[in-house]
Every structure is written in structure tokens, then in C-alpha cells.
Amino acid sequence: MSYGASYEQYNTLFLNEASEIHPSIVYRNLGLVTVLLLVLTLLSLATALMVNLKNKSHVSYLVSASIASLSIGFGSILLSNYVGVYI
């Protein structure tokens, strides 16, 4: 009892009809994007936490902290996708 096509039919289908899957630009340069996000995180955290709040407005503090938290989130997502693919 056979289900589907034979091995030879699947093999010829793969050899003749298959097309290559191209990853997006972000995933081709995933290491660079992750490093840039980590640098952005460190710079944003440094500007948010190392500056005297008496001389700085609260809006710029919130913007720096928001940028840092977003880049931490996106960096962790990209890093987990990268590590998850190669494990």
C-alpha cells in the first residue's frame, strides 16, 4: 500500500521545480544588527542613568530609557532567533 508519489517522482520534482529561499536583508546581517542594538542599548542606558537629573529634563530621561528598553527587547528577540536556529 503506497501513499503519495514514489521517491523518484519526489526527487525529480525537487531537482526541477524547487527554488532557493533567500533570507531577508535583516537576517543576512543579523550579527551586525544585534551588535548595533547592543551598542545602542549601552549608549541609551548611559545617557539615561549616568546624567544628573537636576540638570536634565525628565522627557529626555524617559526617551533615553525607552530607547534602551526597546533595543534590549529587539536585541534579545534577534539573539534568541539566531541562537534558536543554530542549536
> What is the rounded CA–CA span in Å between residue 69 and residue 80?
16
What one-character DSSP code corresponds to residue 56? S
pLDDT at 76: 83
User: For residue 87, is pLDDT > 80?
Assistant: no
Arithmetic mean of pLDDT, 17-26 = 78
pLDDT tens-digit profile of 53-82?
A: 677 777 877 888 888 888 888 888 877 877
* Best CA proximity match to 24, nearest among 74, 71, 80, 78: 78
> What is the rounded CA–CA span in Å between residue 4 and residue 10?
9
**Where in the chain are the domains?**
23-86
